[in-house]
């Protein structure tokens, strides 16, 4: 395989889920020749027809070859998405959502993933209609579940990796709002992932807490510990706290665009303005809505203080402290 046929360096936006990857991806894709690739390594994603996995946070060892995945991504990175993939329906759906124990996929999920696949195809067509050549396409992966594939992507395609970190209490409060759980079999089924990153937490992972606050706090600790290890090994990657983006969006995004060698376009400025304006609601308006990008970004930073009790916040602080102290001070609790 000739990976050098991908002319422009791909960009990866990742981090834990609920860390702002969708927001950042939507801002960066305002650049005309950016090809937005929505969660290709997430179960049931736009690559489901060719990369069939039921594992959330599947670990891709950078020292191994993944020929099928390399082939699929190499084509994606050149702006090629097959029309046939749009019509990959229920025959490919797993029986269980391993992010939510006991959660069964239904037609609503099928429609959501079909819409994402259709969007990937239409975006590839739009690039051609704009006259963007294969050599000019800048691939942009937005995928929090690709966190455990970040090294593999970096070593295979020299991706520009952007990792988002969010306050543990904000992460937990978001999962609490959505009533999202996590099946730790995603981790225990992967001995290489456990040995590589999560050995210090093996006991808790193999005997996960039943309390949803404790469970979410452990998920945050595991995922952010992976980010912390990356930061030690790859200081050249870009690490951004969600709170810093939210507090000073224009300056922070300008710096991010510069680091990624992207033009800070008028469309990007408008998108930042519309998604951070103080006239927006500070919190999600519709209960159960997964993404509401238009927020009062500064007010959104502290929403967790209204969603969680003092006791819950203390629980989270105790469980996450060893990792959280690397990113957040006591004053930020």
Residue 204 maps to which CATH number? 3.40.50.300
Can you give the residue range of the structural domain that contains 307?
A: 3-332
For 269-279, write each residue's pLDDT tens digit. 999 999 998 77
How does strand 103-104 pair with strand 96-97?
antiparallel
pLDDT grade for 23, boundaries at 50, 70 and 90? very high
Is 80 exceeded by the pLDDT of residue 102?
no
Is the CB of residue 240 less than 8 Å from the CB of residue 256? yes
pLDDT of residue 81: 92
Is 80 exceeded by the pLDDT of residue 160?
yes
SS3 at position 141? strand
Mean pLDDT score of the chain, rounded to an integer? 88
For 28-59, write each residue's pLDDT tens digit. 999 999 999 999 998 878 887 788 777 899 99
By CB atoms closer than 10 A (0-12, 13-18, 19+), residue 288 is exposed
How far lies 328's CA from each of 68, 141, 237, 243, 315, in Å? 39, 27, 19, 10, 16
Residue 10 CA to residue 256 CA, distance in Å, equals 15
pLDDT of residue 253: 97
- Looking at the structure of the chain, the number of domains it has is 1
For residues 206 and 108, which has the higher predicted lDDT (pLDDT)? Answer: 206
Is 60 exceeded by the pLDDT of residue 3?
no
Nearest to 124 by CA among 144, 145, 114, 139: 139
pTM of the model: 0.91
Least confident range of 76-90, 197-211, 219-233, 302-316 = 76-90
**What is the rounded average pLDDT of the residues 176-203?**
94
Is 80 exceeded by the pLDDT of residue 288?
no
**What is the rounded average pLDDT of the residues 174-203?**
93
- The token duo for 256 is 């991010």
């Amino acid at each position: 395989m000739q990976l050098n046929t991908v002319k422009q360096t791909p960009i990866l936006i990742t981090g834990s889920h609920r860390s702002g990857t969708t927001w950042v991806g939507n801002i960066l894709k305002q650049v005309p020749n950016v090809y937005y690739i929505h969660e290709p390594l997430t179960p049931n994603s736009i690559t489901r027809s060719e990369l069939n996995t039921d594992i959330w946070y599947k670990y891709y060892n950078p020292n191994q070859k993944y020929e099928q995945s390399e082939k699929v991504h190499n084509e994606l990175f050149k702006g090629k998405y097959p029309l046939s993939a749009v019509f990959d329906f229920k025959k490919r759906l797993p029986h269980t959502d391993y992010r939510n124990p006991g959660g069964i996929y239904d037609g609503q999920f099928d429609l959501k993933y079909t819409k994402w696949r259709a969007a990937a195809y239409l975006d590839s067509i739009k690039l051609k209609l704009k006259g963007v050549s294969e050599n000019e396409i800048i691939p942009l992966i937005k995928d929090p579940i690709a966190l455990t594939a970040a090294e593999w992507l970096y070593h295979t395609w020299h991706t520009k990796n952007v990792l988002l970190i969010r306050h543990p209490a904000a992460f937990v409060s978001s999962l609490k709002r959505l009533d999202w759980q996590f099946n730790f079999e995603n981790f225990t089924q992967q001995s290489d992932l456990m040995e590589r990153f999560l050995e210090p937490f093996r006991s808790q992972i193999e005997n996960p807490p039943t309390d949803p606050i404790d469970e979410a706090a452990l998920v945050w600790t595991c995922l952010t510990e992976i980010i912390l290890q990356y930061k030690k090994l790859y200081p050249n990657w870009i690490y951004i706290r969600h709170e810093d983006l939210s507090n000073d969006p224009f300056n922070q995004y300008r710096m991010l665009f510069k680091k990624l060698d992207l033009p800070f376009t008028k469309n990007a400025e408008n998108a930042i303005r519309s998604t951070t304006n103080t006239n927006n609601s500070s919190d999600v308006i519709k209960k159960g809505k997964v993404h509401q990008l238009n927020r009062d970004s500064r007010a959104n930073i502290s929403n967790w203080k209204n969603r969680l009790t003092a006791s819950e916040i203390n629980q989270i602080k105790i469980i996450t402290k060893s990792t959280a102290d690397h990113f957040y001070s006591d004053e930020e609790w």
